[in-house]
């Protein structure tokens, strides 16, 4: 039995939060957790600012930010550990000595290489993990000896086989002996041992990679929301957390900008058969979401989301039918103008597509106008109902359309080819009412069971 527990920046922002993290880890000790931490609060942002100030030649400002980061961590140490021990003091001296040398070097060269930037940013996670491991009295494992990557600084790619070997050699014995261990998210090292990072927000990815390497049954992502919600709660106050979603559903929702883990992030855990749970650090007994590799759930619809603005193009050509190369010609125009097409729906003599963002379509419309009639409708949004079992749920589409009828006019319908997404295009000003009506129709009150 093993477990990865990852805590994000807001979960480790101050001494009180770190103490709470300590309690959660202690309670999980029977499952031998490997604890993966982000940097505290806004520390990574402060380090980015320091690096950029140094590059711009503002050395004093850069060193001032470094000193500020040090004071913040010393303050946490006083509150969490009752003071800064001589060992911790010399650990801080070493870390900030390196950081300040790096910042000075960047300032002298007036150049911030991705490699220097990674070294600077790694300070945040190295500090937060040091504080928690001191607090818990469990080993601190340097992620640079576990998470092996290539040398693409700022967006390094993992070497999963090398990670598996190091995790078995270094992490497993530590977990067996001490019952828990702490390591850094976000950072790794390349074949030369040089510090790399997985990209901003990369700690989730670290947790997933380490979970896969450990063969963990669960990767817990502790954050400040109770998992995935049925809809954006700022628009729909009645939104509630979804108990279980599949990896495919999570990916679909992420594409709609829902506050979900990025699909690439959880892929290693999913492929290794581990479940990923998303939990609220300050409400550990509250609701949470489990993301599972396979198809899950009994709910017909899992969540709803909206994306936009998009522009809807209705292209009509009476000769589309006989014209073998029509679609090719059409998409050739989009391709040449770098226009990204979202949804597509076709009929006998017309095709409708959505185009993301506020792009200039004049040239595109003119060119298509040469062989078809184009109608352009701006300020539209895509509203999607996502669920693994949509297709198998009789009456679902009827419920979607009945819910929307009083508040929005549906201008296009598309059922994603993966069959877990039913999308409609409506006017942007109808979006919020549409989401509320749809949420009420699908998730509130008594729902007919199918
Ligand atoms: N500390 C890093 C960041 O802020 C990584 C993370 O928090 O996931 O981007
Ligand atoms: Mg994050």
CATH number at residue 354: 3.30.2130.10
Buried b / exposed e along 347-369 (16+ C-beta atoms within 10 A):
eeebbbbbbbeeeebeebeebbe
Q: Which two tokens stand for residue 129?
A: 């993990």
- Beginning with the edge strand found earlier in the chain, give each strand of the sheet holding 140-141 in spatial order: 140-141, 181-184, 33-37, 3-7, 218-223, 275-280, 289-292, 244-246
Angle at which helices 15-28 and 114-136 cross, to 10°: 70
Q: Tens of pLDDT along 324-335? A: 788 899 999 999
What one-character DSSP code corresponds to residue 170? I
Its pTM stands at: 0.89
250 occurs within a structural domain: no
| 207 and 307 together in one domain | no
Q: Which ligand is nearest to the CA of 123?
A: 1
CA pair distance 84, 140, nearest whole angstrom: 17
Task: Give every CB contact of residue 365 below 8 A, 6+ residues apart in sequence.
Answer: 313, 374, 376
223 is in an annotated binding site: yes
195 is in an annotated binding site: no
CA angle 290, 294, 295 (to 5 degrees): 85
| 56 and 145 together in one domain | yes
| 190 and 322 together in one domain | no
Q: Where are the alpha helices (DSSP H) in 370-446?
A: 396-404, 431-443
Judge whether 92 and 84 are in contact, CB under 8 Å: yes
281 is in an annotated binding site: no
| 91 and 208 together in one domain | yes
277 is in an annotated binding site: no
Distance 41 CA to ligand 2 centre (A): 10
155 occurs within a structural domain: yes
Find how far residue 349's CA is from the centre of its chain: 40
Q: In a 10 Å sphere around its CB, with 0-12 CB exposed, 13-18 middle and 19+ buried, how is residue 446 labelled?
A: exposed
Q: Which ligand is nearest to the CA of 206?
A: 1
Last residue of a domain, one of 174, 201, 224: 224
Distance 41 CA to ligand 1 centre (A): 9
| 169 and 317 together in one domain | no
Distance 255 CA to ligand 1 centre (A): 21
* End-to-end Cα distance, the chain: 37
CA pair distance 396, 314, nearest whole angstrom: 26
pLDDT of residue 415: 86
208 Cβ closer than 6 Å to some ligand 1 atom: no
Domain enclosing residue 73, as ranges: 3-224
Report the nearest atom of ligand 1 relative to the CA of 204.
8
Q: Which two tokens stand for residue 323?
A: 């014209």
Distance 221 CA to ligand 2 centre (A): 9
Task: Give every CB contact of residue 332 below 8 A, 6+ residues apart in sequence.
Answer: none
Considering only CA atoms, which residue is closest to atom 9 of ligand 1? Answer: 200
288 is in an annotated binding site: no
Q: Which two tokens stand for residue 127?
A: 């500090």
Per-residue pLDDT tens digits of the chain, which is 450 residues long: 699 999 999 999 999 999 999 999 999 999 999 999 999 999 999 999 999 999 999 999 999 999 999 999 999 999 999 999 999 999 999 999 999 999 999 999 999 999 999 999 999 999 999 999 999 999 999 999 999 999 999 999 999 999 999 999 999 999 999 999 999 999 999 999 999 999 999 999 999 999 999 999 999 999 999 999 999 999 999 999 999 999 989 888 888 877 778 888 999 999 999 999 999 999 999 999 999 987 776 678 999 999 999 999 999 988 776 677 888 999 999 999 989 899 999 888 899 999 987 778 999 999 999 999 999 999 999 999 999 888 888 889 999 999 999 999 999 999 877 778 999 999 999 999 999 999 999 999 765 544
| 141 and 27 together in one domain | yes
Pocket-testing residue among 6, 38, 46, ligand 1, by greatest number of atoms within 8 A of Cβ: 38
| 49 and 172 together in one domain | yes
CA pair distance 55, 98, nearest whole angstrom: 16
342 Cβ closer than 6 Å to some ligand 1 atom: no
For the chain, what is the domain count? Answer: 2
266 occurs within a structural domain: no
Q: Tens of pLDDT along 247-306? A: 989 888 888 877 778 888 999 999 999 999 999 999 999 999 999 987 776 678 999 999
Distance 208 CA to ligand 1 centre (A): 14
105 occurs within a structural domain: yes
Bond prior to 248 in cis (omega within 30° of 0): no
Last residue of a domain, one of 180, 196, 224: 224
185 Cβ closer than 6 Å to some ligand 1 atom: yes
336 occurs within a structural domain: yes
Task: Give every CB contact of residue 136 below 8 A, 6+ residues apart in sequence.
Answer: 22, 25, 26, 180, 182
| 210 and 334 together in one domain | no
| 206 and 317 together in one domain | no
Measured over the CA atoms of residue 114, residue 118, residue 119 and residue 124, the dihedral's sign is positive
Of 17, 33, 36, whose CA–CA distance to 25 is shortest?
A: 33
291 occurs within a structural domain: no
Considering only CA atoms, which residue is closest to atom 5 of ligand 1? Answer: 201
Q: Which ligand is nearest to the CA of 185?
A: 1
Report the nearest atom of ligand 1 relative to the CA of 199.
9
CA pair distance 429, 308, nearest whole angstrom: 11
| 171 and 38 together in one domain | yes
183 is in an annotated binding site: no
Judge whether 158 and 148 are in contact, CB under 8 Å: yes
Q: How far is CA 83 from CA 77, 97, 276, in A?
A: 6, 20, 36
Question: Domain containing 198 — which CATH number?
Answer: 3.40.1160.10
188 Cβ closer than 6 Å to some ligand 1 atom: no
221 Cβ closer than 6 Å to some ligand 1 atom: no
Q: Which ligand is nearest to the CA of 46?
A: 1
Considering only CA atoms, which residue is closest to atom 8 of ligand 1? Answer: 201
| 48 and 192 together in one domain | yes
Last residue of a domain, one of 204, 224, 244: 224
Distance 362 CA to ligand 2 centre (A): 39
289 occurs within a structural domain: no
324 occurs within a structural domain: yes
Judge whether 425 and 382 are in contact, CB under 8 Å: yes
41 Cβ closer than 6 Å to some ligand 1 atom: no
| 46 and 191 together in one domain | yes
């Amino acid at each position: 039995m093993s477990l990865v527990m990852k805590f994000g920046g807001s979960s480790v922002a101050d001494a009180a939060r770190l103490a709470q993290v300590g309690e959660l880890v202690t309670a999980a000790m029977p499952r031998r957790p490997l604890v993966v931490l982000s940097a505290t609060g806004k520390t990574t942002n402060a380090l980015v600012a320091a690096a950029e100030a140094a590059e711009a030649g503002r050395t004093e400002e850069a060193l001032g930010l470094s000193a500020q980061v040090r004071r913040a961590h010393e303050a946490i140490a006083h509150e969490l550990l009752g003071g800064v021990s001589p060992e911790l003091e010399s650990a801080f001296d070493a870390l900030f000595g390196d950081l300040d040398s790096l910042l000075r070097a960047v300032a002298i060269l007036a150049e911030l290489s991705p490699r220097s930037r990674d070294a600077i940013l790694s300070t945040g996670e190295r500090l937060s993990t040091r504080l928690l491991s001191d607090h818990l009295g469990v080993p601190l494992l340097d992620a640079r000896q576990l998470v092996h990557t290539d040398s693409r600084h700022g967006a390094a790619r993992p070497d999963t086989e090398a990670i598996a070997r190091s995790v078995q050699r270094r992490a497993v014995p530590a977990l067996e002996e001490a019952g828990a261990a702490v390591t850094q998210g976000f950072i790794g090292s390349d074949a030369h041992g040089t510090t790399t990072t997985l990209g901003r927000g990369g700690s989730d990815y670290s947790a997933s990679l380490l979970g896969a390497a450990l063969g963990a049954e669960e990767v817990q992502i502790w954050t400040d929301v109770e998992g995935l919600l049925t809809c954006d709660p700022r628009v729909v106050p009645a939104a509630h957390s979804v108990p279980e979603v599949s990896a495919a559903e999570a990916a679909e929702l992420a594409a709609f900008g829902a506050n979900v883990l990025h699909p690439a992030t959880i892929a290693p855990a999913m492929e290794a058969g581990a479940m990923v749970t998303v939990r609220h650090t300050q409400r550990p007994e509250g609701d949470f979401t489990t993301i599972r590799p396979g198809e899950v759930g009994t709910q017909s619809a899992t969540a709803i989301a909206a994306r936009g603005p998009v522009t809807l193009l209705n292209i009509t050509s009476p000769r589309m039918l006989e014209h073998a190369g029509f679609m090719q010609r059409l998409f050739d125009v989009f391709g040449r103008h770098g226009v990204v097409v979202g949804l597509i729906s076709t009929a006998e003599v017309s095709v409708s597509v959505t185009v993301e963002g506020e792009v200039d379509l004049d040239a595109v419309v003119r060119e298509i106008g040469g062989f078809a009639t184009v109608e352009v409708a701006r300020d539209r949004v895509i509203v999607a109902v996502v669920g693994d079992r949509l297709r198998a749920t009789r009456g679902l589409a009827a419920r979607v359309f009945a819910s929307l009828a009083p508040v929005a006019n549906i201008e296009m319908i598309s059922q994603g080819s993966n069959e877990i997404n039913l999308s409609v295009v409506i006017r942007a000003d109808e979006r919020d009412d549409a989401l509320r009506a749809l949420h009420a129709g699908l998730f509130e009150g008594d729902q007919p069971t199918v």
